[in-house]
Every structure is written in structure tokens, then in C-alpha cells.
């Protein structure tokens, strides 16, 4: 007995894609003085911070890693 192939509803309504979506990258947010300051503040308030300067450098490094 032959197996009959049927399309499911999700397959029938699926839209074709144009181009490779995985190759597109979102623009990285700009790292500003304000974003570094905000991250450094959160580090200092977490109880895991160090000096003001250490927090600043850590914040800057974390933000650059995320790009």
C-alpha cells in the first residue's frame, strides 16, 4: 500500500523567504559615555564592583563584547 503525502495547514500557509535571513546582521548599538556610565553604575550597585575606574573599564569591556 502506498503512503499518501498530505500538506498540513502550517505547510500550506508558509510564506517563501527571499534571500538568506541568517546572513543579515542588525546594526550594533553605539557605545556612548552615557551607556558606559549606566552599566558602571549597575556594576557598582551589584556588590561585585570595584573602584570607580575598575567599574568603568569593566562596563566598557562588557559593552564592547556584546557588539
Reported pTM: 0.58
- DSSP string for residues in 1-32: -PPPP---HHHHHPPPP-S-GGG--PPPPP--
Distance, in Å, from the CA atom of 31 to the CA atom of 64, rounded to the nearest integer, reads 8
Q: What is the pLDDT of residues 22-66, one digit of tens each?
A: 555 667 779 999 999 999 999 999 999 999 999 999 999 999 998
Interior angle at CA 32, CA 26 and CA 34, nearest 5: 125
What letter would DSSP give residue 12? Answer: H
Contact 31, 63 (CB under 8 A): yes
Is pLDDT larger for residue 61 or for residue 13?
61
Over 80: is that where the pLDDT of 7 sits? no
For the chain, domain boundaries: 30-67
Amino acid at each position: 500500500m502506498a503512503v499518501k503525502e498530505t500538506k498540513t495547514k502550517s505547510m500550506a500557509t508558509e510564506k517563501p523567504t527571499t534571500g538568506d535571513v541568517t546572513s543579515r546582521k542588525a546594526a550594533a548599538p553605539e557605545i556612548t559615555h552615557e551607556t558606559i556610565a549606566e552599566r558602571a553604575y549597575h556594576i557598582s550597585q551589584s556588590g561585585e564592583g570595584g573602584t570607580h575606574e575598575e567599574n568603568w573599564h569593566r562596563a566598557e569591556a562588557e559593552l564592547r563584547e556584546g557588539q
